[in-house]
Amino acid sequence: MRNFVICLILALLSPRLLPAQNVNVLSSDRPYVRIAQTSGWLVDPTAMLTFQQVRQQAYGSLFQPVKHEMGAFGITSSAVWIHGRVSNNATNVTYLLIEFSNIDSLSLYYEHEGQLHTVQSGSMQYKPNTFHFHGFTFELPANDGLPVDFWLRARTGNALIVPLAVATAEGIPTALAGMYVVELIYLGVVLALFFYNLLLFIWIRDKAYLWYLGYLISLAGFNLLYLRGFHYSLSPSAALFFNQYGIGMAAISYMFTIGFSILFLQSKKYAPLQTRILRVIFWLLWVPVFCLAFGWREPAIRINELCSFCIPILFIWMAIRAIRRGYKPALYFIIAWSTLLVCILLFVTTNIGVLPYGHWSFHILPIGSAVEMVLLSLALGHRYALLKKETIDMQAAHLQYAITQKDLLEDKVNLRTQELAKMMQHLRESNTVKDKLLGIISHDLRTPLGTLSGLLELLEMKALTPQEIKEFAQMARQHIKHINSTMHNMLNWSLSQMNRIETRPVKVELAQLFQLITDTYRFSAGQKNIKLEASVPPGAVVYADDHQLELIVRNLLDNAIKFTPRGGTVSLGARDAGNKVELFVTDSGNGLTSEAVYKILYGNKLYSTDGTANEKGTGLGLWLCKEFVVNNGGELRINSIPGQGSTFYFQLPKEPPAVF
């Protein structure tokens, strides 16, 4: 009663009353509309107001529009009421969208045909979304094109952010594209960096890479699963867990980055005071983890916010001291953490209302952290180059010292010279492997990510129609598939170059293997209306390494689909060849010239061309096929006629090799 009296007095003393909320009209030409600035907003500090109270005229005059694209209120115990109006001239259903998943409690009220309807939702009471996106959807009646009033109450233990929109079923793809594009690009960057640095760790065994990989995964988990709400796509129990405890991943990521920074910057040598401070902070970061375990979410969030400012400043301070003492890789550190610190400041200041909060604020942390992670990866590369140079210089110095010693015997001098030559050759070969890896990453991974970025800019400029958005979704799926295939082949190729892959022949039933692979590629073939056939003699078996054989057949089948035009045919099969079985993949594609066949089979460089639907490739898959076929006792061969198609085939033994 007291709340009602206070609001009534405020309403009577107000110099002007807010007019009825603007009507947001949906139509076939306007299927998606953000409505934050055309709705009324009321903050209830007591969180005690009821729907019957806020719908009264005295409270209605207190609803005020927000100035920006969405309501942002920071961490608050208040409840927020929203009053809006929408009419739909296009379909029978209007969808009210809240494009953010970290809201504990949502209550929707509306009247239809004289009856009051109430719908409860929120992240603390898991309900799958109609369209499977990380937010909340409510259905409002179209009401024959007449305006429908709704009231929405929101309250949470996280930062309260309410991005509000309405859409028809045709407008949902626009909402989905706006929510997923940045995350897909961010995920692509994280995957590329993870596998690249994992390969380098396997190669050089530097513990700094392990700390970096832990930081990469925990920070990506915080951004995607907690901050961006992808946990809502998981099971109900997992979604509730990440909503309640996901902020803890920020503390864990800081633990990893503290360990990484101390090791990378050699801070014991260059910044001992800052190192001691960081070690204390490392153990203090367990405090928010324990707070979450006891259900104290707000203190955990506050501690993480404080660390988000203090830790980057300490890192920048350490890096400045290191670079002043001649440690050049620290420059990447300064740029990386300065960039992330600016993004954190922008995100926090928009959250508390100092700066205008818009959809750009949603993307600032993923973009900032992606830039920071790339710069840290470059810093690791620079550090490795310096360590390698120091090693070579040290070895050269040792050799020079040995040569200058008059009491050394001639044979000992020759032996040391030969050892150094072998070492230098090994380093050159290692550089060749690294350069090939970097070349593939810089071209074949950067190109699809750049394409996705360009399409995002078109989307932000609203230059795409709903049909083009659907086509963009298909194109994004193809690019992500290309990135995944490239990383898988790179991992196998790198391991083979380092002699870490062993061939273990076992009995392989071809019918079962072919069925598994054709089922995997049936969708890709269907996308191009390609007829996919498989034939194998009953009981056909070969003796080969099953993992390597699967990779061979997958790559050959993938290439066949890639270079076969729409409506063509691709055949996978096997036939008897005496004491061996011949496996083949035939397509009705463009075929290959004799020069191209020679480059594939006998060239010492990767060979690749674009597919019939402009699919990209690296040539690494065929390179692996050649190596793995030889490892299993066969030889890859090609029959091809330009314009009529190609057949890739090889033979494998039916029986295990004899042991003497």
> What are 484-540's pLDDT values in tens digits?
555 655 555 555 554 556 778 899 999 888 888 888 778 778 888 988 888 998 889
Which residue, among 156, 147, 158, 170, has the nearest Cα to 47 in the 3D structure? 156
Helices (H) and strands (E) in the chain, counts: 20, 19
For residue 11, the model assigns a pLDDT of 41
For residue 653, the model assigns a pLDDT of 92
- In this structure, the number of other CB atoms found within 10 A of the CB of residue 269 comes to 11
Q: What is the DSSP letter of 226?
A: I
Long-range contact set of residues 521-526: C-beta below 8 Å, sequence gap at least 24? 521/554, 521/557, 521/558, 521/561, 524/558, 524/561, 525/561, 525/570
Decide if 484 contacts 476 (C-beta within 8 A). Answer: no
In order, the DSSP letters of 553-605 are: HHHHHHHHHHTS-TT-EEEEEEEEETTEEEEEEEE-S----HHHHHHHHH-SS
C-alpha span between 132 and 327 (Å, rounded): 49
pLDDT digits (tens, 9 = 90+) for 611-648: 666 666 556 778 778 888 988 889 999 998 888 889 99
Decide if 103 contacts 122 (C-beta within 8 A). Answer: yes
Q: What is the pTM of this model?
A: 0.49
Of all helices (H) and strands (E), which one includes residue 161?
Answer: strand 159-162
For residue 109, the model assigns a pLDDT of 93
For residue 558, the model assigns a pLDDT of 85
C-alpha span between 564 and 328 (Å, rounded): 50
For residue 148, the model assigns a pLDDT of 87
Decide if 70 contacts 164 (C-beta within 8 A). Answer: yes
pLDDT, the chain, mean:
76
For residue 318, the model assigns a pLDDT of 84
Q: Name the pairing type of β-strands 569-577 and 531-535.
A: parallel
Which residue, among 583, 622, 587, has the nearest Cα to 606 in the 3D structure? 622
- Residue labelled with tokens 């290309």: 482
Residues (pLDDT < 70) of the chain are: 1-21, 90-92, 124-134, 177-180, 232, 348, 350-362, 382-414, 416-417, 419-464, 467-501, 604-619, 657-660
C-alpha span between 268 and 266 (Å, rounded): 6
C-alpha span between 518 and 528 (Å, rounded): 15
